[in-house]
Structure 1
Amino acid sequence: MVSVSLSAQSDTVRIARQVKAGCDYLFKPGNDKKDLDSAHYFFGQALLLSRSIGSDKWINECLIWQGSCYLEENRHDSGKACFQEAIDYYHRRGDIPGEARTWYLLGYCISTQDPRLAPEKANCLEYAYRLYRSIGDSANALKSLKAAADAHLYEPNLDLAERELLTVAASYKAIHFADIHYTYDLLRVVADLKGDLVKEVFYATEMVRSLDSAKMKNRDDTVFLGSLYGNAGVTYASAAMWDRALTFARKGWKAAQVTDSDDEYFGKMSALCQDLVRNDSAREALRFVLAAIRQRKPSSAFQEARIATSLGTCYQALGQLKKAERQFLKGARILNIDRRFRKDPGYAQAGQEMFLSIGNFFLLTHEYGKADFYAQRLPSNYTYLINLGQRARIQLFRSRVDSAMGRYHSALQHFATYQQMNDSLFGIQKTIQLQELQMKYALDKKDNDIHLQAANIQLLKKENELQQMQAGRSRNLRNMMTIALLFLVLLVGMVYNRYRVKQQRNRQLELKKDEITAKNQQLEHLLQENEWLLQEVHHRVKNNLQTVTSLLTSQMESAEKGPAVDAIRESRQRIEAIAIIHQRLYNSNNFSSIMMPAYVADLVEHLREAFRPGPRIIFSLDIEPVALDISAALPAALILNEAISNALKHAFPGEMPGTISVHISRVSAGKVLLEVSDDGIGFSEKAVISSKSFGIRLIKGLVSDISGESQIINGNGTTVRVLFCINSNYGT
């Protein structure tokens, strides 16, 4: 079981590593096929391993990542199938959070490049919203609804998007949600696409207020929130609030410099360049663009086109028309080759802006044929993502080109459309509303300045008070330092005196320490000698007992068979049992106690050799690791010797087979149970009670010596059971 568990843990670690490797390739900038192929490989390996170990959690995670990879490649059906397998699993299990999360991720990953997929994207996100609402998960429900509203922009269904975003904003305001600025930014986009400049400015201003109070938790927050500042700058430029537009364009550029996205970097560069030129700072704009392209090189043709048109705009504003023409033509050539803005809605408005700048340049230089050429090249797709202000500028440009080319009827039509759009943007009522917004913004700014000025005055007062306090503290500090210095001199004298006294004490302590060390060494030497002597005593006792045993053996061999020989043999065995104890003592490092498991094994082996019962009698030893003090070990050894010898002599007559069991255990903290049993013929209780044999009397006497209790039980053989007390320091 342990090996299986460890193997499963190892497999899940491998799966996690493969998923991470796949994500590293998936999230690389751009859509390089090699990167996506590598991501597919790692996700596929992780999925195979997940299926092999039957991990439902990792199977579904791998399916989601594999599906994300397919959708990144615009392989919509394959990607959706992966997500659907995970969705079906969660639906069968009734796992609503898991199902809602998977619907949300599917909707999030569906591309917006194909407008036909926008309804499906929105449906997935709205379904996730309903699932989250059903379980009371408000945070994820609102996040899903906001994402669904974003998808509706690409349908386009601006009214539905606005209603959903207003619902999200109201809920966020009710709970004081910190990141409401993202919702205001989407509402700003809706107002921009609807051509409602007043609402667009209002939402941009609300977004800025939220941003000003937001706390940047990490680098990503700085990048994203800085990007929103740049978006506010674009709105203020649309409303001809040039100073404010420039302020927020600078904030957007500051954040773009730390982003990893080259599109974001060069997009914010282009926006700040346009605002600088509009504020009559063309030279500063040129220096800025040249510095920006030295700081980072473009990674796509579209970014090179942005650089070229930005430089062309700067040179045009500076009157360097030849340089401007070269840059505009370079940008036009790149746009004709890299047609991303015609395929990806995210680039549509930027592509139109660049073509419009190029066309207006040739209109300015009276090269009407070229201007007409670029008027015809203006992209006509994704017009629902182009704001009303830019559509109005395109109509004005086409009107001027048609007029210059003699197409007066078409020129009047374009101009009428321009007037209608411009009136919608800057009608009298909207102009008044914008002025009111500007005035409100100015008043808010003035109030903030007044509060800031009052705060500065209070700060100056506090600084003055602080300086006076510091001067007083300085005087007090000088006085205190003088007193402290005198005290320090006194303290040093006392410390030096204590130091001298301590040195004398230390010398005395060192002498005592040396004396104690010498005595300890003497004691250790004496202790070692004592141990050697004890070892020698036990050795000699064992040798003497061996000599006695040899004498008894000689006596036994010279005597005639009979009771005398049996008595000598039994005495010899008892002496050998004691000799084994002394042998154990001098062979170990512990001269005060005997470990019973090893001793019993030696005793049984000795008795087996003495009686030679052969294989017919089996010994079963169950000895716990009990150590006995020598005062208890000697009686216990003799009891064992008597009990086992009696079993070998009397329990199995003839060739009768059997088993002799020896059991020693600690039954409580201070008591030990010793038990010798056999499955032999046994003997009558009356014989035991009336027995005058020396062996039984010896056992009872030994039991009495160690303050124990004995039982001799007859039944299915004979059992000798002894329960005796030991001191706490005997056993381990």
Structure 2
Amino acid sequence: MQYPVPEGAGDAWMELARAYDTYSENELKQKIACYELAVPLYKMAVNKLKQAMALQMLGDCYNHQGVLAPALSALEQALAIYKDIRYPALQGIYDLLGNVHSQMGNYKIALDNGFMAVKTAEAMQDTSLMLCTIYNRLGLTFYHLGDHAQALTYFKKSLGIAERWNDTASILTLIPNVASALQGLGRPEDAVHILGDMEKHYHITSDEDKATLSAGLVNSYISLGRFEEAHIRVKKLTCLSRAFGTFHYMQDGIYVALINYFLAVRDYENVKWYGTNYEIYCKNGGYAYELLNDYKSLFRADSALGNYADAIVYYQQYKLLQDSLYGEEKTREIAQLQMQYDMEKKDHDLLLKEQRIQLLTRRGQLQKSDLQRARLEGNVIIGGTLMLVILLVLGYNRYQLKQRINRQLQLQQREISEQHHSLHVLLCTQRKLVAEKEWLVKEIHHRVKDNLQIIMRLLNAQAAHLDDENALAAIRESRHRMQAISLIHQKLYSSESMALVGMDIYIRELVAYFEDSFAGLRQISFDLQIADVYLEVCQAVPIGLILNEAITNSFKYAFPAGEEGTITVNLQYISEEDILLSVKDNGKGLPVDFEKRRHASMGILLMETLSEQLEGKLSVKNKDGVSVTLIFKPQLDREKIPGLLKLVNKTA
């Protein structure tokens, strides 16, 4: 098909825009530039539908970029064109307008557009993911208004649609929204519960989803007074914040969680620092609701720090913005709008009831016709009954024959029952023997763990009488190795499985042991990326020792005293039959002469020997820090581990 030049060029720019990622700051700028070029081309070609669609996409991108005024202008132009050409499917444009007005603090207009989006979608019988987005944004508007019950209702509606479509990306966005509404309703334990389930059941890989999850847990942990758990998540949020751009949309939730945490622990200097940055972020994007809460936090921080002049200024700004957002007149208008929507919904329900009554009336008439037909059929049945009596007489003879056969079957059944009883007795005996065996295996693991603990205590006692630093270092390293093995036997003793070790929990406990054992470790953080991997004891012990050596080397060489850094531990399936274990730090790397000393290093020799035992491939790289990588094959039958094949076959 031949297009006029302007329209064809506009189509080309639109197609190019689709290639750019909305969630990348640089690519979003390129996407906006493409739409800005497409709009005037469609206007020249007098194709109003494509012009409106390009304006709608442009407004959505402006909204993602955080510049609300241009977004509102583009979306209003698009709506005017849609109405001019009588385009029916307006739920998407109403939804975007409601979202932009909500962020600007125009809650009455936001609710009006949100309700219009719902009505239009329902009239069009739209059950797609568009309705999921509409319900979510309507819930966000109610959340900003402080109506957390209504917000929770709409968030759950949205989540139900996302789950019906099995849209993981939407689910990972909506579960934290539900948690925020529960938090607002004073149910932080429920919020922690659903966020924990989300982390357990979904493979969270993107930094955006990690930030949303951690921010939600920080807010809930603060409400429950669990500040140590909150602090762990705060460290993750701090790292993620540095990874995002200054005005990236994810900074919103990160700043709020960090400010809430530092307010709770009374670290007002950090509240002031993050609050000032958040103020710049909110003003740049025009976010009224977020700016209101930030003013309140800055007022509290300056009051606690004795900066009373600044505190008064922030309080005045807070009151002015609060009156503009939640004035008495606006509150009344919003209530009237909600009442109007409820009335219209009731009228719509009554109309549906009348239609159902008419349908039932027609069904009644059909039932009368069916009754007359049934009478005719009854006469036919009487004649058929006579024939049936004759057949019954003939069937009686067959019944007598069947009775004789049944008696023979009963005798056979009795014999089978006796055999079944004997088998049941044998099975009970076997189960008892298995239970005794399991108890003995558990006792062995318990004894091994206790013996290792005794050896560790003996090493500690011996270390108290030594002055030689090399000997002390050797004892410390031996103690860490024994602790790595002891943890495995402890897991086997306390778990239902006698031979399999869950590596996720084991590695986290091993890292916690290192954090407790090494002094001056507060500046080093761990990034654990552990899949749901189960290993037999013969492989779990070498893996634990390799982890011990790799992490110990990072402590010794990567980070001088007081220097910050991150140690990343990754354990994943990279194929159906291969597992990758890697330990990487971002420190200064190994000493220059390390290769010369490599064959004299007990830790490296031990890792190489253990990798040979695992029949794996070990590599140690010294680039941008030290990376220890091991690829090996698990020895267990993976189909015995619940959910393991599903984990391997899952696609992003």
- TM-score, normalised with respect to structure 2: 0.52
Q: State whether structure 2 residue 234 is matched by structure 1 residue 332.
A: yes
In 1, Cα distance between equivalents of 2:132 and 2:185: 21
Q: Distance in 1 between matches of 2:286 and 2:147?
A: 20
Deviation at 1:271, TM superposition (A): 0.6
Alignment of 1:615-654 (within 5 A): none
Distance 2:375 2:186 in 1: 58
User: Aligned to 2:179, which of 264, 270, 273?
Assistant: 273
Relative to structure 1, is the Cα distance of residues 384 and 370 closer, same or farther in structure 2, using a 3 angstrom cutoff?
closer
Q: 1:444 aligns to what?
A: 344
* Residue of structure 2 equivalent to 1:139: 49
Secondary structure of 1:257's counterpart equals helix
The CA distance in 2 between the partners of 1:237 and 1:480, in whole Å, is: 68
Distance 1:381 1:341 in 2: 16
Q: Partner of 1:321 in structure 2?
A: 225
Cα RMSD, aligned residues only: 3.9
Question: Which structure 1 segments of 5+ residues have no match?
Answer: 1-56, 58-89, 490-732
State which of 116, 131, 137 in structure 2 corresponds to 1:231. Answer: 137
Q: Which amino acid aligns with 1:398?
A: L
Q: Report how far residue 178 of structure 1 moved.
A: 4.1
Percent pairwise identity: 21
| 3-state SS of paired residue (2:9) | helix
Distance of 1:136 and 1:422 partners within structure 2: 45
Residue 212 of structure 1: aligned partner: 122
The residue number in structure 2 matching 1:400 is 300
Q: 1:295-444 alignment to 2 at 5 Å?
A: 295-317=201-223, 320-322=224-226, 325-339=227-241, 342-343=244-245, 347-348=248-249, 350-364=250-264, 366=266, 368=268, 371-372=271-272, 374-375=274-275, 378=278, 380-381=280-281, 383-385=283-285, 387-444=287-344
Question: Aligned residue for 1:187?
Answer: 97
CA distance in 1, matches of 2:207, 2:115: 34
Quote the offset at 1:273 in angstroms: 0.8
CA contact (8 A) 1:309 1:328 kept: no
Q: Is the 8 A contact 1:125 1:148 kept in 2?
A: yes
Aligned to 1:667: none
Q: Which has the higher contact order (CA 8 A, sep 6+)?
A: 2
Confirm or deny that 1:254 pairs with 2:254: no
Provide, for residues 609-649 of structure 1, a one-character-per-residue CA deviation record: whole Å limited to 9, x for no partner: xxxxxxxxxxxxxxxxxxxxxxxxxxxxxxxxxxxxxxxxx
Secondary structure at the aligned position of 2:128 is classed as: helix
User: How far has the Cα of 1:383 moved from its partner?
Assistant: 4.3
Amino acid at match of 1:228: I
Offset at 1:393?
0.7
Residue 125 in structure 1 maps to residue 35 in structure 2 = yes
Amino acid in the other structure paired with 1:238: H
Q: Which residue of 2 aligns with 1:241?
A: 147
> Is the contact between residue 195 and residue 388 of structure 1 (CA under 8 Å) also seen in structure 2?
yes
1: distance between equivalents of 2:66 and 2:252?
19
Report deviation, 1:424: 1.6
Report the 3-state secondary structure (helix = DSSP H, G, I; strand = E; otherwise coil) of the residue aligned with 1:177: coil
Change (3 A) 1:189 1:290: same
The whole-number CA distance in structure 2 between the counterparts of 1:397 and 1:134 is 50
How far 1:394 moved relative to its partner?
A: 1.0
Say whether the 8 Å CA contact 2:39–2:55 is kept in structure 1.
yes
Contact 2:271 2:301 in 1 (8 A): yes
Give the counterpart of 1:172 among 75, 82, 90. Answer: 82
Q: Give the 3 Å change call, closer, same or farther, for CA 476–237 of structure 1 in structure 2.
A: farther
- Which one-letter code corresponds to 2:90 in the other structure? I
Q: For the structure 1 residues 238 and 120, does the alpha-carbon distance in structure 2 shift closer, same or farther, using more than 3 Å as the test?
A: same
Aligned partner letter, 2:203: K
| Distance in 1 between residues matched to 2:121 and 2:225, nearest whole Å | 40
- Is the CA contact 1:115–1:154 (under 8 Å) kept in the aligned structure 2? no
1:506-552 superposed Cα distances (whole Å, 9 cap, x missing partner): xxxxxxxxxxxxxxxxxxxxxxxxxxxxxxxxxxxxxxxxxxxxxxx
CA contact (8 A) 2:97 2:110 kept: yes
> Do the aligned residues in 2 keep the contact of 1:352 with 1:379 (CA within 8 Å)?
no
| C-alpha contact (below 8 Å) 1:230/1:252 kept by paired residues | yes
Alpha-carbon distance in 2 for matches of 1:102, 1:250: 39
Equivalent pair of 1:262/1:298 in contact (CA under 8 Å)? no
1:355–1:378: 8 Å Cα contact kept in structure 2? yes
Aligned position for 1:287: 193
Moved more, 201-210 or 96-105: 96-105
Relative to structure 1, the CA distance from residue 113 to residue 312 in structure 2 (aligned partners, 3 Å threshold; closer, same or farther) is: closer
Q: Distance in 2 between matches of 1:160 and 1:372?
A: 31
> Is the alpha carbon distance of 1:308 and 1:122 closer, same or farther for their aligned partners in structure 2, counting shifts above 3 Å?
closer
CA spacing shift, 1:442–1:340, aligned 2, 3 Å: farther
The 8 Å contact of residues 226 and 252 in structure 1, kept in 2 or not, is answered as yes
| Matched AA of 2:42 | Y
Runs of 5+ consecutive residues of structure 2 not aligned to the other structure: 390-652
Cα distance in 2 for partners of 1:154, 1:226 equals 18
Q: How many pairs were matched up? A: 390
**CA distance in structure 1 between the partners assigned to 2:117 and 2:21 by the alignment:** 27
TM-score between the two structures when normalised by the length of structure 1: 0.47
Say which SS state the counterpart of residue 191 (structure 1) adopts: helix
| Paired amino acid for 2:152 | L
Task: Identify the residue that residue 647 of structure 2 maps to in structure 1.
Answer: none
Confirm or deny: 8 A CA contact 1:237 1:245 kept in the other structure.
yes
Q: Distance in 1 between matches of 2:357 and 2:383?
A: 39
Pairs within 5 Å for 1:1-150: 95-109=5-19, 122=32, 124-150=34-60
Assess, with a 3 A threshold, how the Cα gap between structure 1 residues 456 and 378 changes in structure 2: closer, same or farther. Answer: same
**Alpha-carbon distance change, 351 to 121 in structure 1, aligned in 2, over 3 angstroms:** closer
The change in CA–CA distance for 1:372 and 1:134 in structure 2 (over 3 A counts) is closer
Cα distance between partner residues in 2 of 1:462 and 1:283: 52
> CA-to-partner distance for each residue in 1:648-704, whole Å, 9 max, x for gaps?
xxxxxxxxxxxxxxxxxxxxxxxxxxxxxxxxxxxxxxxxxxxxxxxxxxxxxxxxx
Q: Find the aligned partners of 1:110 and 1:385 in 2 and give their Cα distance.
A: 22
Report deviation, 1:299.
Answer: 0.9
Q: CA deviation at 1:230?
A: 0.8
Describe the SS at the equivalent of 1:343. Answer: coil
Measure how far apart 1:336 and its partner are: 1.7
Structure 2 contact 282–291 (Cα < 8 Å) conserved: no
Q: Secondary structure at the match of 1:167?
A: helix
Tell me which amino acid in the other structure corresponds to 2:302: D
Q: d(CA) in 2 for partners of 1:240 and 1:128?
A: 40
1:198 equivalent to 2:198? Answer: no
